[in-house]
Homo-oligomer: A and B are copies of this chain.
């Protein structure tokens, strides 16, 4: 029987721990194509739940799904000047549309006669192709708002990739809305941030700071970028979702005007907003430990695993008389249950494997339990276990799953609070930033100061928070670098 290989502890090498965990827990792996990952069934099951939870929330906001082309004409990218600066450079370029048999007999080669007139780019994001489409959909204020989202793959030719966190191809959703007024568009961008924050906190159990990006960190082509920022267990920040107010930039680039109620032609106002498979990285790095994944129950593909402890098949049969009906009752209650009756792994191996996979609740029952009408119940988040009566166990499990969900969130929030502090001088900042976490500092609002700090410390402004962080007050002050006035503190951190 296989022996269980432990992960590199987080304290030894956090980055190595992450890479090992993603692969060993069967979430994802590198593919034969540089920088592109394979999302394995267990990882994809988590992503499907993320999709379902988000999709339901989007639809509650009036959003409809649609699908726009994978390929974008090269010329579209240069239409919006700032956008091309931010995006167009590192991307996959389609130049030909045919292969042919190699005249020298060595497999296939690109057919030089099948060169495209205009090269096509695999979408790094879809504002350009979508606004070229919206032009045909919008003529009057009666056509607005348009609230579309698509779930799709996108590609950015990243040089250094890491599974989920930074891959050349990744999966995401991108919402693109069109509005008649500036106010409506701004409100919509802001309200989608709340949808993301609600999802992050209540489903992923990841506490987030809601804020706006400084101009340096804004999306290419946006007038304002709202974001949610999370803190990972190594004290680094991870941007978990963004929602952009795009003003009339794309409407102007693609000439999308509408006839207003007042019978005047006006350019349409836009938002876009997205989250990606990067959330999988955030999920892993927020909750997991040296034994493996820790999954909040809301996202766990298996919420409860039941392991009968047996040697002979008669023993198993007797255990299953209790365990099968229990599993059925839990399933009827909407709980995702697995019963593991495999005889090719020891209970110890199974326990370690389900810990690695982050199954929130493990039930184990052996011969003595059978005599006593008891069962062992173990929770993944605290690694504690106890033996309890089988009587009324279903309700206890429901309550325990809710408690684990809450505990995952609280633990992450406690960690973030402990690693968040104010910092009032740049000298202090340079020392403190080495310890990680969020530093709340005054900043004079200029790109120059932000760039200087980034160059000297690698720290960036993660966001200008919409409201003071718990335990802190919003107050004016002086920039820690230049001494110039600052309206409120912003969040600095080293980021993924």
Can you list, as one digit per residue, whether each of A60-84 has a CB less than 8 Å from chain B (1) or not (0)? 0000111111111111111000001
Number of interface residues of A (CB under 8 A): 63
With a cutoff of 8 Å between Cβ atoms, the chain B residues found around residue A69 in the complex are 31-33, 36-38, 169
Query: Known: A88-B108, A92-B120, A108-B84. Contact between A98 and B67, CB under 8 A?
Result: no
Q: Please, how many angstroms separate the alpha-carbon atoms of A41 and B130 in the complex?
A: 13
> Which one of B38, B89, B129 lies within 8 Å of A32 (CB-CB)?
B129
Shortest Cβ distance from A87 into B: residue: B99
With a cutoff of 8 Å between Cβ atoms, the chain B residues found around residue A129 in the complex are 31-33
Q: Are B93 and A29 in contact (CB under 8 A)?
A: no
With a cutoff of 8 Å between Cβ atoms, the chain B residues found around residue A148 in the complex are 41
Query: Known: A88-B108, A132-B32. Contact between A64 and B41, CB under 8 A?
Result: yes
Selecting from A9-17, A149-157, A178-186, the interface stretch reads A149-157
Q: Are B120 and A110 in contact (CB under 8 A)?
A: no
Which residues of chain A from 145 to 188 have a CB within 8 Å of any chain B CB?
A: 148, 152-153, 155, 157, 169, 171
Q: How many copies does the complex hold?
A: 2
A143 to chain B minimum Cβ distance, whole angstroms, is: 12
A39 within 8 Å of B by Cβ? Answer: yes
With a cutoff of 8 Å between Cβ atoms, the chain B residues found around residue A171 in the complex are 67
Q: Please, how many angstroms separate the alpha-carbon atoms of A122 and B33 in the complex?
A: 12
> Which one of B64, B98, B155 lies within 8 Å of A70 (CB-CB)?
B155
A48 within 8 Å of B by Cβ? Answer: yes
Can you list, as one digit per residue, whether each of A418-441 has a CB less than 8 Å from chain B (1) or not (0)? 000000000000000000000000
Q: Are A97 and B93 in contact (CB under 8 A)?
A: yes
With a cutoff of 8 Å between Cβ atoms, the chain B residues found around residue A90 in the complex are 97-98
Q: Are A133 and B31 in contact (CB under 8 A)?
A: yes
